[in-house]
Structure 1
Amino acid sequence: MLKKLFLIMSLLVLPALADTTEEINHLINYVKTSKCSYIRDGKTYTGSEGAKHITAKYDYYKDKINTAEDFIRLSATKSILLGTKYYIECPGSPKVESKKWLLEELKKFRSK
C-alpha cells in the first residue's frame, strides 16, 4: 500500500518539477539573450554575464528552490553580501528591479 502511495505521489510531483526546471531555464535564457543590462552591486553587466551569475547562484541554492518564484527570490533579485537589489535596464526603457522584470516574463511564459 505504501509503495502505491509513493508511486502516485511521485507521478504527481514529477511534472511539477519538470515545469519548474523549464521555467527557470527559460528565465535564465531570457536574461542571457536580452539586449538589456543586468545591474548588480552598482556595476553593469551584459545579459550573458548576468545569466552566468544567476546560474551560479541557482546552483548554490538549488536545494532550497521548489518554484520559479523561489529561483527569482534566491538567485536573481539581490546581493546576499551587500543586500542591494539587482536591476535590469533595457534600451529605451527605465531601469526596473530584476524581480519585477523576471516575474513579468514568468507570467508571460506561463500564459503560453
Structure 2
Amino acid sequence: MGCAKRFRTIKMTMNKKLIKLFVLLFFVSGVGYADVPTKQVKEVKHLLSFVRDSGCIINRNGSEYPSAKGVKHIQRKYDYFRDDIKSTEDFIELAATKSTMSGKYYTVTCPGKEKIKTQDWLLTELKRFREN
C-alpha cells in the first residue's frame, strides 16, 4: 500500500473515532434542557394558560402589557432559566416575579380587582390548581 493511500485510511479511521467520541460525550454530558419535574410540567402549562387567558394587565418596569404579551415575556424567561428551574415555584420565582435587570417586581391588575404582585397571584392560582 502506498503512503498516500495509507494516510487516507488512517485519516478516515481517525475521523470515525472522533465522531464516535463526540457522540458519546454528547450523551454522557447530559447536554440538553433541564426542566421542571415531569409531574409539574402540567402546572407550569396551566399557569402560562392562566396568565394568557386572564384578560389582566401585566406591569413590568412601569409599562403595561395585555396578558397575551405578558405571557410571551414569561415564556422567554422560562426558556432562559430552564436549567435552574426544579419546581413550579422556581418557575414562578425566576420567570414571573421580577425584572432581572431592574429588580422591580411585576404586578398584575385584573378587571374589578386591586393590583397584586404576579408572584402572589400565580402562587394563589397554583394552590387552587393543586387542590382541584
Q: TM-score, normalised by structure 2?
A: 0.72
Q: What are the residue-to-residue correspondences of 1:17-56 with 2, within 5 Å?
A: 17-56=37-76
Q: Which secondary structure does the structure 2 equivalent of 1:59 belong to?
A: helix
Q: What are the residue-to-residue correspondences of 1:9-88 with 2, within 5 Å?
A: 17-88=37-108
Give the superposition deviation at 1:19. 1.9
- Tell me the distance in 2 between the aligned counterparts of 1:30 and 1:98: 12
1:88-111 deviation per Cα after TM superposition (whole angstroms, max 9, x unaligned): 100111000000000000000001
Give the superposition deviation at 1:49. 0.5
- Tell me the distance in 2 between the aligned counterparts of 1:36 and 1:62: 25
Structure 1's unaligned 5+ residue stretches are: 1-15
Identity %: 43
Asked if the contact 1:20–1:66 (Cα under 8 Å) also holds between the matched residues in 2, the reply is no
1:46-105 deviation per Cα after TM superposition (whole angstroms, max 9, x unaligned): 111010000000000000001010000000000000000000100111000000000000
Question: How many residue pairs get matched?
Answer: 97
- Tell me the distance in 1 between the aligned counterparts of 2:57 and 2:115: 9
Q: TM-score, normalised by structure 1?
A: 0.84
* Higher Cα Rg, which structure: 2
Give the superposition deviation at 1:32. 0.4
Is the counterpart of residue 109 in structure 1 residue 129 in structure 2?
A: yes
- Tell me the distance in 1 between the aligned counterparts of 2:46 and 2:123: 12
Give the superposition deviation at 1:17. 1.9
Give the superposition deviation at 1:18. 2.1
